[in-house]
Amino acid sequence: MGIDSHASIFAPLPPRADGRKNLVGLTRAELADELATLGEPAFRAKQLWRWIYTAGAVEFSQMTDLGKSLRARLEDAYVIERLTETRAQHSFDGTAKWLLKMADGQEIETVHIPEEDRGTLCVSSQVGCTLTCRFCHTGTQRLVRNLEAAEIVGQVMHARDQLGDWGRNEGDRRLTNIVMMGMGEPLYNYENVARALRIVMDGDGLAISKRRITLSTSGVVPMMRRCGEELGVNLAVSLHAVTDELRDEIVPINRKYPIRELLDACRNYPGVNNARRITFEYVMLKGVNDTPADARELIRLLDGIPSKVNLIPFNAWPGAPYECSTPEAIRRFGDILSAAGFSTPVRTPRGQDIMAACGQLKSDSVRQRRNRAQASDAAA
Ligand code: SAH
Ligand code: SF4
């Protein structure tokens, strides 16, 4: 697929068969508007918001501080929808991967990675990806559609359900951090991702702070500034190569937004400073991008950008055209960066036994755009 084909994946989901509307994914203002149509005052929206996003309620009957008749009217018109778990896999290292089905039958993967001091949820932004990075399994998936905000927030709510996290204070939660590093390119679905993250960051609800959220992009340069200005989340950039020649080949979006433009956008990312650095992701591919000369060029390129470099050992998938660099090559590469003053964590692969590691996600969804287009024609 071409890199511009994302423009064709915006068709809205058809309405639910029972005519009821999902409240998940609405902004606070939209929720207040819905309640106004029922003749209810704005403070009801606040109560409802808390039930949905602080308590994790799924039934209106649980909402004991709302009158019986209001609960019945809500029940008639609305749902608080969850995604349907079609498979859950657990790695020996504690990583969980959930395959989640959405209303149109499409599926996405969400991964929870527990660590000693945190639990990180790797959230998907699209079914598949329109980009075709050579080393990434998601890029081989044929179907692509943008996720709705409700489906992005729904992944976080599913994790809270599974981890027993509802109603807990920040210090007691198992899920503490979010990385937009699952399937898809989040900045090709910016509006929905932004809406979802605003809901996730709302302090009176899911309450995950922007400091604990990282969005990873393959380099959609024109959207980066807005992301920083409007959301203020941490940025990770999938660099992976130090020459345009190689990056054109392995991260094809580089043909549109080459390394220089990408790094300029990083330099100008709102809020970036030494305390809030940009993470550059660099997948270690044997014999492709892992020489000491590559490391030195990387240091030169990143000069003046408050950055850290995350070295990601390549995770194999069936039919992948690459191998992972040797541990010695990774160590040597990391040592050169460290000597130049970079923080250079090597990302420990997690959940490899269940194909949950970086770049291994792929659901079996097949292209349905035509069906969706037909559905919206029929509705028109
Ligand atoms: N689409 C976004 C976010 C998802 S991928 C992006 O590309 O940034 C999260 C990270 O995993 C990216 O840096 C991606 O390049 C990397 N990745 C993809 N496939 C990989 C693989 N097979 N092994 C290791 N890392 C991989
Ligand atoms: Fe898409 Fe990111 Fe995979 Fe590239 S690495 S194909 S942008 S998900």
Can you name the CATH fold of 84-368?
Answer: TIM Barrel (3.20.20)
In contact, 220 and 242? CB cutoff 8 Å: no
- The predicted pLDDT at position 380 comes to 33
Query: Which pTM does this prediction carry?
Result: 0.93
3-state helix, strand, coil in the chain (%, to 5): 40, 15, 45
User: Which phi and psi (to 5°) does residue 190 adopt?
Assistant: -60, -45
What ranges do the domains of the chain cover?
Answer: 19-79, 84-368
Residue 50 has pLDDT above 80, yes or no: yes
For ligand 2, atom 6, name the residue with the nearest CA: 139
Residue 336 has pLDDT above 60, yes or no: yes
Q: Which residue has the tokens 């460290």?
A: 338
* Residue range 283-305: mean pLDDT, rounded: 98
Q: How far apart are CA 28 and CA 87, in angstroms?
A: 32
pLDDT digits (tens, 9 = 90+) for 246-264: 999 999 999 999 999 999 9
- The predicted pLDDT at position 147 comes to 97
> Any catalytic annotation for residue 170?
no
Which residue among the candidates 40, 81, 107, 109 is catalytic per the annotation? 109
Q: Which CATH number, 1.10.240.10, 1.10.150.530, 1.10.3720.10, 1.10.357.10, labels domain 19-79?
A: 1.10.150.530
Mean pLDDT lowest among 72-76, 140-144, 265-269, 305-309: 140-144
- What's the mean pLDDT when you consider all of the chain? 91
Q: How far apart are CA 35 and CA 369, in angstroms?
A: 33
Ligand 2 pocket check for 218: Cβ under 6 Å: yes
Q: How far apart are CA 141 and CA 137, in angstroms?
A: 7
DSSP symbols for 44-57: HHHHHHHHHHTS--
- Which of 238, 251, 284 to probe ligand 1 with, by most ligand atoms within 8 A of CB? 238
For ligand 1, atom 11, name the residue with the nearest CA: 358
* pLDDT tier, 318 (very low <50, low <70, confident <90, very high otherwise): confident
Nearest atom (ligand 2) to Cα of 183:
8
* Residue range 345-371: mean pLDDT, rounded: 76
Ligand number, closest to the Cα atom of 362: 2
In contact, 97 and 114? CB cutoff 8 Å: no
- The predicted pLDDT at position 27 comes to 96
User: Which phi and psi (to 5°) does residue 246 adopt?
Assistant: -75, -40
- The predicted pLDDT at position 366 comes to 53
pLDDT digits (tens, 9 = 90+) for 99-128: 999 999 999 999 999 999 999 999 999 999
- The predicted pLDDT at position 375 comes to 39
Q: How far apart are CA 234 and CA 270, in angstroms?
A: 10
Among residues 17, 23, 18, the alpha carbon closest in space to that of 35 is found at 23
> Any catalytic annotation for residue 151?
no
